[in-house]
C-alpha cells in the first residue's frame, strides 16, 4: 500500500480542469487557456543555441554536485548587479528546477515537527514540500482588501516554539502581489529563517521586487530560469543558503540528484549574461497583456482592489458566483470554453477566487474576455 504521506497529498484541481479542456478540444472546440502557469513565449534562441553548442562539444557528463562554477558565479554577479547585494558564489546551489531547490531547502533546514509559516492563499506545492521534508505548515491568512500583503501581527500570533522559518513569495503566485519593503523588514526582524521564493523576480511591471538579502542574511533564496527566461521545460533552478548549510545541502544533492545537467547549465550562463535584451522585450509583452487582462476583468464587473504588480496572474474574487471555485471553474469551462484555475488550489484562503493567467497571447485574452462577458450576461451579471 502506498505511504500515508503520498496518499494524502492534495491533488491539483486545475489538472481536472485541464483534462476536461483537452476533451473539449479533442471534439474540435477551441478553449481559451487562462489556467496555465508557464510563459507561452519560446525560450530565446541565443539560450537554445548555447545548449546545442554545448551538446555538440560533448558536454554530457556529471558536473560538480553544486553546479558549474561559472554558473554559480554568474548568479552571484546577477544578484550583485540587480540588488547590490554581495553573495559569495560558494553559497549558490544549482538544481533541476526551483521545486527541488525548495525541497533541498526544507530538507536541510527542518527537523521533524519544525514549523514553517506560509501565507494563505499560497503557491499550491508549498505545504506538500514542507510535509515531505518532515515539517509542519502553519498558514496565515492574507486578504485582498489589504492588497494581499502580509500583516506582521498575524504572523507573530502564529509563531510557536517550533517555528523555524517563514516562507514568502514576492511577486506572488497566485496573487501577483509584490511585498512592500517595510513588511520584508518586519519579517526579517522576527529572527526566524526567511525562505524567499523569488522565482517571479524580473516579472514586475510597477516598481521593483526586493531580494531578501537586502534585509537579512539568515535567509534562503529560491529562484530559477523557468519564468523570466521562458525555460520551464529545461528544469534549471537555484538557491542561495547560509554558508553553514552548504555542506549539508551538498550531501543531500549528491545522494538525491548527483548533479544538474551540464548543457542546461551552460544555457543558464548564457541566459544570465547575454539574454537581457530579449528578456526586456518579453517583460514588456507581459506588461501589455497584464493591463488588458485587468481592464477586461474589470469590464466583466470583477473588483480588483489593488492591481497585481508582478508575475503573470490576476487573482479575483468570484464569490458572487458561488463559494465553490472548483464547480465554478468547471461551469465556466463547460459554458464559456474558458479554462481558469480554481482558487482552492492555493489553499482555503483562495476558495471563492479564480486565478487568471495572462501568459497567453493578446488575442486569446480578448477572446477569453468576450466569452466570459457572454457567460456572465447569460447568468444575469455578477
* Cβ partners under 8 Å of residue 198, min gap 6: 170, 209, 211, 212, 221, 222, 223
Q: Binding to its own copies by residue 279, rule CB under 8 A?
A: no
Q: Binding to its own copies by residue 359, rule CB under 8 A?
A: no
Do the Cβ atoms of 179 and 168 come closer than 8 Å? yes
- Nearest by Cα to 260 from 242, 240, 234, 241: 234
Task: Give the residue, chosen from 33, 138, 235, 278, that forms a contact with its own copies under the rule CB under 8 A.
Answer: 235
- Nearest by Cα to 303 from 247, 233, 352, 234: 352
Q: Which residue has the cell 537581457?
A: 276
How many residues line the site for its own copies (CB under 8 A)? Answer: 65
Q: Binding to its own copies by residue 270, rule CB under 8 A?
A: no
Q: Binding to its own copies by residue 282, rule CB under 8 A?
A: no
Task: Give the residue, chosen from 17, 87, 110, 338, that forms a contact with its own copies under the rule CB under 8 A.
Answer: 110
Q: Which residue has the cell 553546479?
A: 67
CA atoms of 287 and 316, how far apart (whole Å):
18
Kindly give the interhelix angle for 98-109 and 246-256, rounded to the nearest 10 degrees.
Answer: 120
Whose Cβ is closer to its own copies: residue 108's or residue 175's? 108
Task: Give the residue, chosen from 56, 86, 363, 381, that forms a contact with its own copies under the rule CB under 8 A.
Answer: 56
Distance between start and end Cα atoms, the chain: 47
Beta strands, E only, the chain: 32-33, 92-95, 115-120, 136-141, 163-169, 193-197, 219-224, 237-240, 313-317, 338-339, 341-342, 353-357
Task: Give the residue, chosen from 16, 24, 46, 48, that forms a contact with its own copies under the rule CB under 8 A.
Answer: 48
- Least Å from the CB of residue 345 to its own copies: 12
Sole window of 149-157, 176-184, 243-251, 298-306 interacting with its own copies (rule: CB under 8 A): 243-251
- Least Å from the CB of residue 180 to its own copies: 29
- Each residue 246-265 as x (binds its own copies by CB under 8 A) or -, in order, gives --xx-xx-xxxxxxxxxxx-
Sole window of 108-116, 207-215, 321-329, 368-376 interacting with its own copies (rule: CB under 8 A): 108-116
Whose Cβ is closer to its own copies: residue 3's or residue 161's? 3
- Least Å from the CB of residue 375 to its own copies: 28
CA atoms of 373 and 151, how far apart (whole Å):
35
Task: Give the residue, chosen from 20, 24, 25, 59, that forms a contact with its own copies under the rule CB under 8 A.
Answer: 59
Cα-based distances in Å from 225 to 46, 55, 94, 276: 14, 19, 11, 13
Q: Binding to its own copies by residue 2, rule CB under 8 A?
A: yes
Whose Cβ is closer to its own copies: residue 172's or residue 259's? 259
Report 121-150 residues binding its own copies (CB under 8 A).
125, 128-129, 132, 134
Instruction: Give the Cβ contact number of residue 229 at 10 Å.
Output: 25
Q: Binding to its own copies by residue 84, rule CB under 8 A?
A: no
Diameter of the chain measured on Cα atoms? 63
Whose Cβ is closer to its own copies: residue 261's or residue 341's? 261
CA atoms of 111 and 382, how far apart (whole Å):
48
Q: Binding to its own copies by residue 12, rule CB under 8 A?
A: yes
Backbone φ/ψ region at 30: left (φ over 0), alpha (ψ -120 to 50), beta: beta
Whose Cβ is closer to its own copies: residue 9's or residue 362's? 9
What phi and psi values does residue 54 have, to the nearest 5 degrees?
-65, -45
Whose Cβ is closer to its own copies: residue 252's or residue 340's? 252
Residues that bind its own copies (CB under 8 A): 1-7, 9-12, 15, 38, 42-43, 48, 51-52, 55-56, 58-63, 96-97, 99-100, 103, 107-111, 114, 125, 128-129, 132, 134, 230-235, 244-245, 248-249, 251-252, 254-264
Amino acid at each position: 500500500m502506498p505511504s500515508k504521506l503520498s496518499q494524502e497529498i492534495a491533488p491539483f484541481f486545475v489538472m481536472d480542469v485541464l483534462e476536461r479542456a483537452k476533451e473539449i478540444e479533442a471534439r474540435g472546440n477551441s478553449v481559451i487557456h487562462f489556467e496555465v502557469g508557464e510563459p507561452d513565449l519560446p525560450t530565446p534562441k541565443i539560450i537554445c543555441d548555447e545548449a546545442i553548442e554545448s551538446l555538440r562539444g560533448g558536454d554530457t557528463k556529471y558536473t560538480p554536485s553544486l553546479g558549474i562554477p561559472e554558473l554559480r558565479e554568474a548568479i552571484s554577479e546577477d544578484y550583485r548587479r540587480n540588488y547590490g547585494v554581495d553573495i559569495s558564489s560558494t553559497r549558490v546551489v544549482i538544481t533541476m528546477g526551483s521545486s527541488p531547490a525548495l525541497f533541498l531547502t526544507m530538507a536541510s533546514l527542518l527537523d521533524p515537527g519544525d514549523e514553517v509559516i506560509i501565507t494563505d492563499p499560497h503557491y499550491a506545492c508549498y505545504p506538500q514540500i514542507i510535509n515531505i521534508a518532515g515539517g509542519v505548515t502553519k498558514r496565515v491568512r492574507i486578504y485582498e482588501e489589504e492588497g494581499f500583503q502580509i500583516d506582521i501581527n498575524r504572523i507573530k500570533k502564529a509563531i510557536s516554539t517550533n517555528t523555524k522559518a517563514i516562507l514568502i513569495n514576492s511577486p506572488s503566485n497566485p496573487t501577483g502581489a509584490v511585498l512592500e519593503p517595510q513588511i520584508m523588514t518586519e519579517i526579517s526582524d522576527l529572527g526566524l529563517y526567511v525562505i524567499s521564493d523569488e522565482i517571479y523576480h524580473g516579472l514586475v511591471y510597477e516598481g521593483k521586487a526586493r531580494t531578501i538579502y537586502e534585509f537579512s542574511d539568515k535567509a534562503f533564496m529560491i529562484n530559477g530560469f523557468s519564468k523570466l527566461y521562458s525555460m520551464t521545460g529545461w528544469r534549471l533552478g537555484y538557491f542561495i543558503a547560509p554558508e553553514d548549510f552548504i555542506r549539508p545541502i551538498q550531501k543531500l544533492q549528491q545522494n538525491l540528484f548527483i548533479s544538474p545537467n551540464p548543457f542546461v547549465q551552460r544555457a543558464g550562463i548564457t541566459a544570465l549574461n547575454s539574454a537581457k535584451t530579449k528578456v526586456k522585450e518579453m517583460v514588456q509583452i507581459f506588461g501589455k497583456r497584464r493591463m488588458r487582462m485587468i481592464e477586461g476583468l474589470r469590464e466583466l464587473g470583477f473588483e480588483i482592489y489593488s492591481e497585481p504588480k508582478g508575475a503573470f496572474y490576476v487573482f479575483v474574487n468570484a464569490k458572487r458566483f458561488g463559494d465553490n471555485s472548483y464547480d465554478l471553474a468547471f461551469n465556466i469551462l463547460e459554458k464559456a470554453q474558458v479554462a481558469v484555475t480554481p482558487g482552492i488550489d492555493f489553499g482555503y484562503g483562495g476558495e471563492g477566487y479564480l486565478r487568471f493567467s495572462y501568459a497567453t497571447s493578446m488575442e486569446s485574452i480578448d477572446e477569453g474576455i468576450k466569452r466570459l462577458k457572454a457567460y456572465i450576461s447569460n447568468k444575469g451579471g455578477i
